[in-house]
Amino acid sequence: MAPRNKEQEQEVLEWISAVLGEKLPPGAYEDVLKDGVVLCKLANKLTPGSVKKIQERGTNFQLMENIQRFQAAIKKYGVPEEEIFQTADLFERRNIPQVTLCLYSLGRITQKHPEFTGPTLGPKMAEKNERTFTEEQLRANEGQLNLQMGYNKGASQSGHGGFGNTRHM
């Protein structure tokens, strides 16, 4: 498991606060996010109506449903499934760095949505950099044999009597 990075966690909280336009409740990173209420509000801010029901308080099971609703919403938004944390990673504090990775991924994906004009989180997304080559440029390398193509400067196995025999010199 990756070590926790307090600076990244603080950056994530500041980004969420900026997107929501409100101050987050005080407390430790995992405590602010644990019940999923802040996360659901974030999902609704990015895509209005993506989380229909937010449980403000209730049993642990009901609060864990908030996290599951958030996960479903960001999956639809475009966050890759392998970057989405498990509910227990946050609720039971099993893998907080994975939660941070997921939120960074969400912040990065917002750049692909032109309707979102708020602050971004993490590095800028790469743009498509398509190159075109002429037929002449593509064929320029065909006449060369490189060492990876099996050319080995004249050495061969001719005269090797066959598998399992010794070589006679």
pLDDT of residue 149 exceeding 60: no
Q: Of the candidates 92, 95, 42, 108, which has an alpha carbon nearest to the alpha carbon of residue 71?
A: 42
Check residue 29 and give its pLDDT.
83
The answer to whether residue 132 is domain-embedded is no
What's the whole-number mean pLDDT along residues 120-125? 75
What's the whole-number mean pLDDT along residues 102-112? 87
The answer to whether residue 142 is domain-embedded is no
Q: Which of 23-32, 42-51, 154-163 has the lowest mean pLDDT?
A: 154-163
- The answer to whether residues 12 and 104 touch, using CB atoms and an 8 Å cutoff, is yes
For residue range 45-54, list pLDDT tens digits in order. 888 888 888 8
- Give the CATH number for residue 63: 1.10.418.10
The residue type of 66 is N
Range of the domain at 102: 9-17+27-112
What's the whole-number mean pLDDT along residues 113-130? 77
The answer to whether residue 145 is domain-embedded is no
**DSSP at 110:** G
User: Alpha-carbon distance 93 to 34, whole Å?
Assistant: 8
pTM surpassing 0.75? Answer: no
What's the whole-number mean pLDDT along residues 15-40? 86
Q: 115: burial class by Cβ within 10 Å (0-12, 13-18, 19+)?
A: exposed
User: Alpha-carbon distance 42 to 8, whole Å?
Assistant: 18
Task: Give the rounded distance of the alpha carbon of 155 from its chain centre.
Answer: 48
The answer to whether residue 138 is domain-embedded is no
Q: What is the mean pLDDT of the chain?
A: 81
The answer to whether residue 136 is domain-embedded is no
The answer to whether residue 139 is domain-embedded is no
User: Alpha-carbon distance 39 to 35, whole Å?
Assistant: 9
The answer to whether residue 157 is domain-embedded is no
User: How many distinct structural domains can be found in the chain?
Assistant: 1
The answer to whether residue 57 is domain-embedded is yes
Check residue 150 and give its pLDDT.
58
